[in-house]
Structure 1
C-alpha cells in the first residue's frame, strides 16, 4: 500500500465505532449530472453535502464497525480510489464539528479532531463580523406555518405566479411612465424624518411577509422551519426565517422557489404600491406607498435579488446552476489557484468542482467582491449625506471586513499554514513582493493624468434671428439654406394697432405744439410746462417709429438662413418680442463651447498641457486644439440641453427642469478653437468629446485627490 495512504495519528481513531445521529437523514441528489449525498440535520435545520467518495465511509457507520475496519475494507476493494487515512480523519472532524455522528471514544478525541478543522464560527462572533446581518433567534414557527398553510396554499403555485407576473408588469409600466416624478429628490425623500418613521413600521412588516413566504414555500414542499427571529440589517431590525431545510429538496426548482419567495413578495408589494402612489394625492397614503416602492423595488434590485450578494438572489442562482455553497467555493478555488500556480504548492488537492463550475468561480468571486464593496460604500455615502457619523461607521466597518481583516487572515495563512511548509519561501516572496509592487506602482509609477468632458459646436448668439418687436409675420422669410448678407431683410412683421398708435401720437404732438404757440403769447409761465409735454410726446412718437422699424427683421451677419419652421408655416404667425425666428449660420464654426465639472477645474486651470477633441460620429479621429477663453465664474446652466442627462449627456439634469439645461452641480464654461485639422466644417450643435491632458502623476496621488474631493463634496470635511 502506498505510503501516502497512511497517517501517524491513525492509531488514535481506528478503534472508534461512529454512527449517524438519529436526527440526521440522508438524501441523494444530482448536481450537474454527478451524484452527491446531503445530510439533513433536523435538530439544527442545517444541511451538509458530501461526495460519493466521502459517503463510502459515512454509509458504513453503524455504531459497531470500527473506523479501522471500514478503511481496511475500502482499501482492499477500491485500491487507489480509496480515501487515505488523513482524509478519513478529516471527514471525521467535519462530521464531529457539525454534530452529525455519535461514537464512544477517549476524552481527547475531540481535541485530536479539532487539529484538522477549526471550530465552527459561533453566532456571537458571526454577528460581530457581519454588520449587515446580526441574527437573534426567538421562536419555532413550524406549528404556526402548518396551521395557516391551507389559507395560503392556492397562491403558492401557478395561480400565484401568474398573479405576480400580471401585477409586477402593471407596476413596472406605471413606474416607467412616472420615472422622473418618482426619482425627483430621491435622497431627501428616502432619508427624510417622515420616511424614516414610516420605515419603522413598513419595513419590518414587509420583511415579515418576505420571510413567511420562505417558510410557507418550504412547508408546502414537505420541509420543516424551526427558527425565526430578528435580524439587524444595516442596524435596522427585521424578522428572519431559517428555511435552510429546503436545501435537502431533491428538485432544484423546489429549492430555487423557496429562495425566490421573498423576492416575489417584495416585488409584488412594490408593484401594488407603485400603482397606488401614481394615483394617490399627496399625503400619508402616497408617502407610505413611496416607502414600499423603494423598499420592495430598490432593495430587491440592489441587494436582496442580486446574486452577487449572499441573499436570496445568490441562493436562487446557486440552486438553478446546481452549485451549492457557490460563493465560498469560488473563493476557495481562487485560493487554490494562487497557491497551486504561484506558490507551486502541488500537494494541495484541487477543490471538487466541474469544469462549468470552475468557469463560474473565475468570474463570480472577483465580481462579487467588487459589487459588495460598491454597495456597502454606496450605502455609506448615501447615509452619510444626511447622517454623517452613521455613514462613516458603515464605511469603516465595510472596509475592515472586506479588506483589512481578510488581508491579515491571508498573511497569517502564508506565514503559518502547514500546507505551504515546503514552499513557504516562495509564498512569502510572491505575497510580500506583490504588496511591494502594488505600493510602488501606486506611489511612484507615473500614469497619464487626464480629465474628460463634453461640449458642443457653438453657434454665437449673434447668429440667432429674433423678433425685435411683437407682431404678425407678413413677409415670408427666405427658404431654408438660402445665402444671406449682413443687413438683408429676412422678414416683415406687422402690428395692426401700431398705425393707429402712431397717428394718435402725431396728433398729440400737433396739439402740444399749437398749445405751446398760444401759451408763449398769452401765458409764458404756462408755456414752459407745455414745452415739456411737447418733448414727451415727440420722444414717445420717436420710440414708436423705432418700434415700427424693428418690425423689419434683418440678417445680423453673412451666412445661410435656417428658419425654425418651414417658411410657409411661419406666415401669419404671432411672434412676441424675443421669439426665435431662425438662425444665420456662418460658413464655418469657430468655437467649441465646453463644460468642465467643478471637480476638474483646478487641474484644467493649473496643469493644462494639451487639449484634444473628438466629434460625435467620428470618435476615431482625434484633433488637437487650444483654449480661447474661460468664464471664471461657476454656473449651473448648461450651454446646450444635449450636455444634460435628459439629452444624453454626462451632466445630471436638475429634476423638474423641462429644458434640460439646469444641472445639479456647479460647472465652468470654456471656449475652444475649432481644430484647423478638420477638413469639413462640423454642424452646429454637434456633441464633442474633450480630453484635457495634464501630464503624468502616480496612481496613488490621483486616487487620493478624488477621495479628498469626495469628502469635501459630500461631507464638507
Structure 2
C-alpha cells in the first residue's frame, strides 16, 4: 500500500469505536451541485460542514466498529479514492475537539476539563482578535422568541418584503434629493457631543431590532436560537443574537434571508428616518433621525452589508453563491497555492472547491484583506480625530491582526508543519528570502521620489485692465481681440455728476481766493486759516481733474485686448474703482503658477532635482522646465479656481467660498518658466507638474507619509 496512505501514529486510534453524540443531527446539503454534510450540534448551537469523503468515515460510526476496520473497508472498496490514515486522524481530531463524537471507553476527565477550558477561552481569543467587535454571551432567548413570534410572523414573509422594498425605495429617493444637506459637516455632526448622547440610546435599540430580526427569521423556519448577549461594536455596547443554526437549513434562500434580516431592518429604519427628517425643523427629533440615518445607512453600506467583511453581507453572499465558509476557504486556498506552487509540496491535496470557486478565492482573499485594513484604519482615524488614544489602539491592533499575526502563523507553519517535512528547506528559503527581499526593497533599494501637483498658465497681474475711477462704461475704443500698444486708450467711463462737482470746486476755489485777499488786509491771523482752506480746495480740485483723465481706460502693456464680457453685455454698467474691465494678453505666456501642498513643501525646497510639466489634454507630452521664483509665505488662496475641488482640481476648497479659491489647508506658490512647446497655450489652462526629488527607499517614503498624517490629523 502506498506510503502516503499510512500513518506512523495510526496505532493510537485504530482501536477506537466512536459514534456521533445524541445531540448531533446530520443534514445533507448541495452547494454548486456538490453534496455536503452538515452536522448540527444542538447543545452549542453550532454547525460544522464536511465533504462526502469525510462522511464516508463518519457515516460508519456506530460505537462498535473500530476505526481500523472502517478504514480497511473503505480502502478495499474505494482503493485510491479512499481517505488516507492521516486524513482519518485529522477528521477524528476535528470531531473530538468540537465534541461531536464519543467512545465506548470511559471518558478522560482531564481531556474533558481541557476541552472545557479551551471553549471558555475561545470567546476571549476571538474578542482579542477583533477588538471592535467584542462579544459577551448572557442569555438563552429561544423561549422568548417562540412566545413573541406570532406578533411579527406577518413581517417575516412576503408582505414584510414588499413593505421593506417600498419604504427603502421611497426613503432612498428622498435621501438622494437631500444628499448635500445630509452630508454637510457629516463628521462633526456624527461625533458631536449631542449626537454621541443620542447614539448611547438609539444605537443599541437599532441593533436590538437588527438581532431580533435574525432570531425571528431563524425561528420561523424551524431553527433554534440559544445565545444572546452584548457585543461592544467600536466600543458601543449593543445586543447580539447567535443565529448560526440557520446554517443547517437546506434551502439557500432561507439561509440568506436570516443573514439579510439585520440589513433589512437597519435600512428600513434609516429610510423611515429620512422621510421624517425632511419634514422636521432643526431640533432634538431631527438629530435623532439623522443619527438613525447614519447608523442604518452608513454602517450597512460600509461594514455590515459589505461582503468583504465577515458580517451579514458576507453570509448573504456565501449563501446565495452556495459557497459556505467562503472567506476561510479562500485563505486556505491561497495557503495551498503557496505550498503547492512555491514550496512544491506535491503530497498536498487540493481543497474541495469548484473551478468557479477557485477563481473567486483568488480574487476575494487579497481584496478582503485590503478592504478590512482600509475600513479598520479608517475607523481608527475617524475615532482618533475626537478620541486620539482609542483610535491609535484600534489602528495598531488592526495592523497586528491583519499583518503581523498572520505572518508569525505562517512562519510557525513553515517551521513545524508535518505536511512540509519533505520540502522544509525550500519553504524556509522562500519564506525568509521573501521577507528579506521585502525588507531590502523597503529599506535599501533606492526608488524615484516624486511629488505631483497642479498649476495654471498664469496671466500676470499687470495684464488685468481695471477701472481707475468709478463710472459707467460708455464704450470701447478698440475692438475685441485687437492688438494694442502700452498706454493706448481702450474704453471710456463717465460719471454723470463729475462736471457739476468740478464746477462747484472751481467756484469754491474762487471764493476762497477772494476771502484770502480781503483777510490779508483786515485780519492777518484769519488770513493764515483762509490760506490753508484754499490749499485744501485746490488739492481737491486737482484730484477731481485727475479723475477725469482716469475715465479713459488705457492698456497697461502691449498685447491683445479682451474685455471680460461682450460689449453689448457691459455697456452702461457701473464699475467701481478697481473693478476688472478686461485683459491685455501678452503675445505668449511666460509663467506657470503652481500650488504646492504644505505636506510637500519641505521636500521641494530641500531636494528638488528637476521639474516636469504636462498640459491637460496633452498628457503624453512631458516637458522639462525650471523654477523662476517662489513665494516664501504660505497662502490659503489659490491662483485660479481651476485648481480647486469645485473646478476639478486636487485642492479642497472651503464650501462657503463661492469663488472656489479659499483652500482648507495652506499652499505655497511657485512660478515656473513656460516651455517653448507651450507658447501657444491659452491663459488659465491647467498644467500637471511633477517635482523630481531624487531617490529614496520606499520604506522611508511610507514612513514620511505616516508621520505627516499624524502631524496633520492629530498634531502628534
Report if the CA contact (8 A) 1:97-1:119 is conserved: no
Equivalent position of 1:335 in the other structure: 335
Q: Which residue of 2 aligns with 1:714?
A: 713
Distance in 2, Cα, partners of 1:588 & 1:146: 83
Question: What corresponds to 1:700 in structure 2?
Answer: 699
Query: Matches of 2:158 and 2:612 in 1, distance apart?
Result: 59
Q: 1:550-699 residue pairs with structure 2 within 5 A?
A: 550-678=550-678, 681-699=680-698
Q: Distance between the aligned counterparts of 1:157 and 1:476, measured in 2?
A: 76
* 3-state DSSP of counterpart to 1:422: coil
Separation (CA, whole Å) in 1 of partners of 2:162 and 2:466: 58
2:132–2:394: 8 Å Cα contact kept in structure 1? no
Instruction: Tell whether the 8 Å contact from 1:478 to 1:567 is kept in structure 2 after alignment.
Output: no
Structure-2 residue corresponding to 1:59: 59
8 Å contact 1:454–1:689 — kept in the other structure?
A: yes
Moved more, 692-701 or 210-219: 210-219
**Contact 1:635-1:666 at 8 Å conserved across structures:** yes
Q: Is the 8 A contact 1:634 1:667 kept in 2?
A: yes
Q: Deviations over 1:196-249 (max 9, x none)?
A: 222211211121122122222223333222211101112221111111122222
Structure 2, unpaired ranges of 5+: none
Match of 1:542 in 2: 542
Tell me the number of residue pairs that the alignment of Structure 1 and Structure 2 aligns.
713
Alignment of 1:97-108 (within 5 A): 97-105=97-105, 107=107
The CA distance in 2 between the partners of 1:558 and 1:151, in whole Å, is 85
Partner residue of 1:518? Answer: 518
CA distance in 2, matches of 1:563, 1:419: 81
The question of whether the paired residues in 1 share the 8 Å contact of 2:17 and 2:61 is answered with yes
For 1:252 and 1:459, the matched residues in 2 are separated by 66
Which residue of the partner structure matches residue 400 of structure 2? Answer: 400
Contact 1:12 1:109 in 2 (8 A): no
Q: Per-residue displacement from partner, 1:329-380 (whole Å, max 9, x unpaired)?
A: 1111111111111111111222111111111111211121122222222222
CA distance in 2, matches of 1:528, 1:562: 52
Between 4-13 and 516-525, report the one with greater CA deviation.
Answer: 4-13
* Rounded Cα–Cα distance in structure 1 between residues aligned with 2:263 and 2:586: 59
| Root mean square deviation, CA, Å | 2.6
Alpha-carbon distance in structure 2 between the residues aligned to 1:543 and 1:217: 87
SS of 1:457's equivalent? strand
Relative to structure 1, the CA distance from residue 512 to residue 172 in structure 2 (aligned partners, 3 Å threshold; closer, same or farther) is farther
1:344 match = 344
Q: Which residue pairs with 2:250 in the alignment?
A: 250
Is the alpha carbon distance of 1:123 and 1:382 closer, same or farther for their aligned partners in structure 2, counting shifts above 3 Å?
same
- Listed as ranges, the matches of 1:199-214 within 5 Å are 199-214=199-214
CA 1:110/1:19 → structure 2, altered by over 3 Å: closer, same or farther? farther
TM-score (norm 2): 0.93
8 Å Cα contact 1:180/1:655 also seen in 2? no
Distance in 2 (alpha carbons) for counterparts of 1:522 and 1:389 = 87
Which segment is superposed worse, 531-540 or 171-180?
A: 171-180
| Separation in 1, partners of 2:586, 2:156 | 69
Going from structure 1 to structure 2, the CA distance change for 1:609 and 1:421 (only over 3 Å counts) comes to: same
The alpha carbon displacement at 1:171 in A equals: 4.2
| Structure 1 Cα separation of the partners of residues 57 and 278 of structure 2 | 62
Tell me how far apart the structure 2 counterparts of residues 567 and 155 of structure 1 sit (CA, whole Å).
68
The offset of 1:177, in angstroms, is 4.7
Conservation of the 8 A alpha-carbon contact between 1:480 and 1:563: yes
Q: Secondary structure at the match of 1:75?
A: helix
TM-score normalized with structure 1 length: 0.93
Match of 1:36 in 2: 36
